[in-house]
Every structure is written in structure tokens, then in C-alpha cells.
Structure 1
Amino acid sequence: MFNLLLVIIYLAFISLGLPDSLVGSAWPIMHEDLQVPLSAVGIVTMIIAGGTIVSSLFSDRLTRKFGTGWVTAISVLTTALALFGFSTASAFWMLCLWAIPYGFGAGAVDAALNNYVALHYASRHMNWLHCFWGVGASISPYIMGFSLARYQSWNRGYLLVAGLQIALTIFLFFSLPLWNKGKTDTGNEAVRGPALSLPQILKIKGVPFILVTFFGYCALEMTTGLWASTYLVQFRGIEVETAARFASLFYLGITFGRFVCGFISDRLGDKQLIRLGLCLLSGGILLILLPLPLDIFALSGLVLTGIGCAPIYPAIIHATPANFGEENSQAVIGVEMASAYLGTTFMPPLFGLMAEKISLGLYPVYLLLLALLMLVMSEKLNRLKG
């Protein structure tokens, strides 16, 4: 029975990734149909991010009161309804309206599922589950592309993904009895108790260090992916097609890296996985930074950065119960998710401003500073926890 639940959780992680790349893949057409400027997508993504931050902070209270199964099912249903709303949108304000439940649903399910897996499953599953998130994020642009080619409609693309989410919601509601049954890899069961306030969470020894580490990681990942093609084309003079291909390989590196890490994570442990990832991504950034005559070094550096990113997110989440106690893990992971969304929301635009005012050449320097921040904060936590 517990193996069946694991299959459902894997499907849930695919569903987490499905909507994440829909807006970006459809926006070149959407903004024309909705008669808004290209930059208006920032408004939608900011609304979504705001919702995810709020729901992440409340995930501890919701999960303790209703349980992970109910929170996951309701959150996926909320996201499915929001995507259905996107499919019916005929004006920009309607997108903004439906972005609110989209954000609330995404943040709650992300925090709840990550904590459940951290408590109940071995590290290999955390890596493979986040690899499956990458599968979902990779599939949705193809769904949107099919909709645009077959039906000349981005609305239909959102409707197709909403249908997949609703199908998953049905499975989740039928799976509710499974969430409290069966033994776990670690022998642990869900921990109940009073919810923690944000000041109480921040007072837990070491929490500020991991929040800054997570902020830095998510800022680095998002900035790398968002600005890779622009840097390669406009600063390094690489052809657009080549730059786009290697920019996509950055995400493929993350997905492939997490698949591989699933086989070695239980042996290495979360602490060593984070160190390994930091070493690899730092090496990749240095290859991008060095003014070498052959473009292959910068392009390979981008792929290596993706591989280095792969184990860090899953390892930070999986180590949370061990670092801060099982009774605190849901609360801490909720704040970690909020910190992650802050990093992905504000740090890539900050680099964009720096690139516009100073130089695009700061791209690898900016990434290297984020990597250094992660290294310092994670090692501070390691020394504190022994």
C-alpha cells in the first residue's frame, strides 16, 4: 500500500512541474492576443510568487490540522481550477485573478509534499522525485506547442494541462486512506503538535543559515536559466540557436543530475551532496567566467552548472528533519519554500537591472557571488550541527 502511495507522490511531483513552464512557453502568443506588452508577464509571475510565499508560510498550520493527503489533494485541485481559469481568460485582468489561487495551491502542495517525503522516505527518493518535477516542467512546453500547432490556441494548452491536474486530483482523493498507513524507510510516522509562528521558527538554531542558503540556491538556479541565452548571444557572440540549445541543457543537467544522485545519495549523505553540488556548479561558473577563446568552455560550463545544481535542492529539504527536528520540519520547510520563492522572484530581475545599467558580463560574477553565499552559509550550519 505504501508503494502505491509512493507512485501517487511521483505523479504529484510531475504535476508540480507541469504548470511551471506553461506561461513562458505560451507568452509570446498570449501577450499579443491579450493586447498587453511583453513585460506584463512579470505581473502574473509576481502574483503567483506572492501566493506561493503566503501559502508556504501557512503550510505548517494547514498540514498539522488537515494532514498531508488532504492538503495535497485540495492544493492540486486549486491549481487545476486556476489553470482551467487561465484557459477561459480573454483579458489580462482575468489572468491576474486566476494567478491568485494558482499561487496558493502551488506553495501549499510544494511544502507539504517535500516535508512528507523528507520524513518518510530515503534521500534517493527525494532526488528522483525532484527529477520527476523536471519531467513535468519539460513536458508542458510540448503540450502547449501541440495546442498551438493543432488548434492555434494557447487556451487549449492550459485546458489540456488542467485536465491532467484534475485526473491527478481524483487519484489523490482516492489515495487519502493511504497517507497514514504503512511503514516508512526510516520507520518514522508523521509528527503532530502545535504549529510554530515565524519568530519561533527563526529562533531555531541554524534556521537563518539554511534560509539564506536556500535563497541563494534558488536565486542562482533561476538567474542562470533566465539569462543564459541572453548572456551567450549578446556578450559572448554565440549564435542564437546554439545558445538556446545549451540553455535548455542547463535544465536537462539538473534533471539528469538528480536521476544520477538518486543512486549515490544514501551512501554520500545530504551534507556531502550539497558540497559536491557546490563544487561542480562553481567549476561550471568559472568555465563561463574565464575569457577563453573557444565557446565550448562557456557552453560546457552551463551544463556543468546544471549538474551541480541537481543535488542541492533535494538535499537541503531531505536534511531538514535531521537538522531541526521532525517536530519542526514542516514549519521549517514551509519557511524554506518562502525563502526560495523570494530568491526566484527578486534576484533574477536584480541581475537584469545590473546588466542594463552596468554590463551583461557580470553574469558569471553574479552567479559566483551567489555560490559563495551558499557555501559560507551551508558550512556555518554544518559547524553548528557538528
Structure 2
Amino acid sequence: MKKVSLALVAQFATLLGLGVAASIINVAWPFIRDNFGRTDGDLGVLLLALMFGYMGAAFLVGRLVDRYGVGLVLIAGGLIIIAGLLGWGYSPIWAALLLSVFLTGMGSGLLDTTANIYAARHFSARLTNWLHASYGLGAVVGPLLTTAVISWGRGWRLAYLMGALLQVVIWLLYLAVRQDVSMRGMTVEERPENSIPLRSVLKSPLVWLGMFYFFMYGGLEHGAGQWSFPLFTEGRGVALEPAGTWVSIYWGSLTVGRVVLGQVTAWLGSQRLLRLSHLLALLGAILLSIPSIPVLGFAGLALIGFAVAPIFPTLIQLTPQRVGRKAAATAVGFQVGVTSLGIALLPGLAGILIDRISLEVVGPFLIVVALICLAVNERMSAQSAVELK
């Protein structure tokens, strides 16, 4: 029982650490931009480096977990992300920072996808939502930590060094549970010798539809988290501390949403919950688009976080049911991988639009992305119903 509990703690710690690492940039970016003499459009370059590392790892994780087990993949991913975060803290030039970002993405891809594969195999919908709530908790800490160290005059780099220290602690936990986590609880049909070829997985229309959805979802969740701080501070004149606090509230509302909405999945049903979540996210994006009443923008940002909260874990948990258990590990790896692509490309596209138009393009941009997510989710639901008949 103790060993199972440690294995569970390892998965939760993984998502917590990733949340901290990923959200530091939500507050740090304007300072990173000025430090290296870049523009807002260059955020897209940075996120592309992150995405290439993340996707390269995520697409391989399904096979790596099957061959080496969850424990060894977590250990490798932990070492890589520690190196990447240290690079954020010490890189003297832009090129060195991009290399560090790439390593951070690679480590994140290994850790995130492995935890999601483990969750898809072993966790209920409610526990999966709780797992992803730990990511949201980490994402609350990241902006608060960064706001604090910058306000104290210590600079944005210290936040990344503290994130690296947290990853060292989590890595020590991986060492303690490596034998407990690896291959535990896998059914006969899930074992490596019975996994199906990649070509067969990619023949499923639902796999491709799911990949497109996760691409758009990554842009929605992280676009709101990334651009709200510059929108509030540089676009609407909000002071640093309250703006940073509202970014943390965004991630906090996502955490609360995963806990609260995860509880209602059993009686509301996954499909109804997903539909409600998308509609509320759309409403939040509309409120964020209203510049004349600041409180509406704050409320809209918080509503987006609360609304999107159950979407990612619910769809991950549904993956084995939709594509089959043999294909689930590979499908989850692809879905998580293209999420990173959306996280890189869509906020990066928003940055280009901001350079050419203004920061007020953020709200309308999120409205469009939310509408696309709603439409694709409805299509996936209909396609799943047809294939299950």
C-alpha cells in the first residue's frame, strides 16, 4: 500500500513541478524580452524551441514507457528538465537561452506524457482531474514566485533557478519509486509485445481529430495564461503586483475547476461536462475582450481558467475508450505532443498580431480559438458515438 501511494505521489509531483516551470514565463516574459532586446513576436521563437523539444520527446514516450517502464522515463526526463531550467537561469545570450528552452521542452515532454499515460491506464476520471489539478497548483505558484522575486529586485532568473531546485527534489522521489511505478498494473493486452503498429494507430480518424483538438486547446489554455499579464500591465495600465496576482488566479481557477468539476463528471457525464466547459470558456473570452471595465477582464480570465479545467484530463481519460487500450499509449503521446505545438504556435501567432495591431487583439483571438475548440469537440463526440455503435 505504501509503495502504491509513493507511485501516486510521484505522478502528482510531476504535474506540480511542470506547472511551476511552465508558468514562470507568464510573468517573466516582458523582462526576458527586454533583457535580450527582443520583441513580443519573438515569444513565438522561444515557444517553438520549447515545442520542438516537447514534441520530439512526447511522440516517443509511448514506446519508451512500453520498453523501459514509467520509472526510468521519469528519471531521464527529470535530469533533462533540471538542465534546461538551470540554463534559463544562467544563459548569457539568446541562442543559449533557446537551447535551454529546448531541453526544458524535452524534459517536460517526457514527464508530462509519461504521467498522462500512467493516468489513462490506472486512474478514474475523477482522479485524473485531481492529477491535473496539481499542475494548476504549480501554475499558481509560478507567477506568484516570479512576481515576488522581481518585486524584491532579484530578477527573473532566480525564479527559474528555484524551479530547478524543485525539480531536483522531485527527481529524488523518482529514484525512490522507480521499481514500483514501472509496468505496474498493466494488463496483458497493454504490454509491449501486444501494442499495435504506429501506422495502424494513425489510421483512426478520431486520433487525427483528437490531435487537432489538442493543438487548439493548447493555444486556448496557454494563450490566456501567457498574454493576460502584458495585456493588463502594458495594455490596460494595471500595476505589476495585481496583474501577476490575476495570472495566478487564472491558474488557481483552473486548479479549483479540476477539483470541483471533476467531482460532477459521474452524474453530469463527460460529454455534457465538456460542452458546458467550452461554452463557459467562450463567455470568459468575451468578457476578457472588454477593455473599458477592468473587473470584467479579470473575471473573464478567471472564468476561462475554471471552464477549461476539466477538458484536458477528461479527454485524456477517454482516450483508451475511444481508440482502444492497445493504441492508447501512442495516442496519448501524440495528443500531448500536439498540445505543445498549439502552446507554441498559437500564442506565438498572437504575439505577431500584437506587434502589428495591439495587445487588445488577445481577447478576440481567444474567442476564435474557443469557438474552434467547441466545434471540434462536438465533432469528436459525434464521431465517437458513431464508432461505438
TM-score (norm 2): 0.85
Determine helix, strand or coil for the equivalent of 2:202: helix
Task: Tell me, in whole angstroms, the C-alpha distance in 1 between the residues paired with 2:345 and 2:26.
Answer: 17
1:224-303 equivalence runs, <5 A: 224-231=224-231, 239-240=238-239, 245-289=245-289, 294-303=293-302
Deviations 1:326-381 (A, max 9, x none): 11111111111122111111112323333444565554433232222222222222
- Helix, strand or coil: the match of 1:276? helix
Closer/same/farther in 2, CA of residues 254 and 189 from structure 1, 3 Å limit: farther
Structure 1 unaligned segments of length 5 or more: list them.
Answer: none
Cα separation, 2, equivalents of 1:234 and 1:95: 24
Please give the residue correspondences for 1:11-22 in structure 2 after superposition, counting only pairs within 5 Å.
11-22=13-24
82, 85, 88: which one pairs with 1:83?
Answer: 85
- Shift in Å, 1:204: 1.3
CA drift at 1:238: 6.6
1:13 partner amino acid: L
Q: CA deviation at 1:277?
A: 0.6
Residue 216 of structure 1: aligned partner: 216
**Separation (CA, whole Å) in 2 of partners of 1:343 and 1:180:** 30
Query: 1:126 corresponds to which residue?
Result: 128
Residue number in structure 2 paired with 1:366: 365
Task: Go from structure 1 to structure 2 and tell me whether the alpha carbon gap of 1:36 and 1:16 turns closer, same or farther (over 3 Å shift).
Answer: same
Q: Which structure carries more relative contact order (alpha carbon 8 Å, separation 6+)?
A: 2
Residue 189 of structure 1, CA deviation: 8.5
**Contact 1:254 1:307 (8 Å CA) reproduced:** yes
- 1:60 — aligned with what? 62
Aligned to 1:323: 322
| 281-290 vs 125-134, greater mean Cα deviation | 281-290
Contact 2:284–2:301 (CA under 8 A) maintained in structure 1:
yes
1:159 Cα deviation from its structure 2 partner = 3.5
Superposed CA deviations along residues 51-91 of structure 1, whole A, max 9, x for unmatched, are 00111111122111111221112111221132234444344
Q: Structure 2: how far apart are the matches of 1:282 and 1:267?
A: 24
Counterpart of 2:121 in structure 1: which amino acid?
Answer: L
**Cα deviations by residue, 1:18-77 (Å, 9 ceiling, x for unpaired):** 2113345445555666x5436555544321221001111111221111112211121112
- Name the SS of the counterpart of 1:203 in structure 2: coil
Moved over 6 A (4+): none
Distance 1:70 1:271, change over 3 A: farther
Residue type matched to 2:218 in 1? C
Moved more, 355-364 or 1-10: 355-364
Cα 1:287/1:81, change in 2 over 3 Å:
closer
Contact 2:137 2:252 in 1 (8 A): no
Amino acid corresponding to residue 122 of structure 1 in structure 2: S
| Contact 1:119/1:189, CA 8 A, preserved across alignment | no
Alpha-carbon distance change, 125 to 173 in structure 1, aligned in 2, over 3 angstroms: same
Q: Is the partner of 1:165 in helix, strand or coil?
A: helix
The correspondence of residues 42-57 of structure 1 with structure 2, limited to 5 A, is 42-57=44-59
1:191 CA drift (Å) = 3.8
Read off the aligned partner of 2:334 and give its amino acid letter. V
Q: Is the 8 A contact 1:2 1:182 kept in 2?
A: no
Letter matched to residue 340 of structure 1: T
Alpha-carbon distance between aligned partners in 2 of 1:164 and 1:238, rounded to the nearest angstrom: 33
Aligned pair count reads 380
CA distance in 2, matches of 1:354, 1:205: 32
CA RMSD of aligned residues (A): 3.2
Query: Following TM superposition, by how much is the alpha carbon of 1:10 offset from its aligned partner in structure 2, in angstroms?
Result: 1.2
Is this contact kept in 2: 1:229–1:243, CA < 8 A? yes
Whichever residue aligns with residue 270 of structure 1, its letter is: S
The alignment partner of 2:205 has SS state of coil
Q: Deviations over 1:169-196 (max 9, x none)?
A: 1211220221258769xx8985433464
Name the TM-score, length of structure 1 as normaliser: 0.85
Q: Deviations over 1:280-301 (max 9, x none)?
A: 112223334579x755444323
Distance, in Å, in 2 between the alignment partners of 1:283 and 1:188 is 45
Q: Which of 168, 174, 178 pairs up with 1:176?
A: 178
Q: Which runs of 5+ in 2 are unaligned?
A: none
Deviation for aligned residue 1:107: 0.7
CA–CA distance in 2 between the matches of 1:188 and 1:272? 33
Q: Which range is displaced more, 145-154 or 278-287?
A: 145-154
CA distance in 1, matches of 2:195, 2:328: 12
d(CA) in 2 for partners of 1:156 and 1:356? Answer: 28
Matches within 5 A, 1:186-225: 190-192=190-192, 193-194=194-195, 196-197=197-198, 199-225=199-225
Q: Is the 8 A contact 1:238 1:295 kept in 2?
A: no
Instruction: Give the fraction of aligned pairs with identical amino acids, expressed as a percent.
Output: 26
Q: Which moved more, 1:166-175 or 1:354-363?
A: 354-363
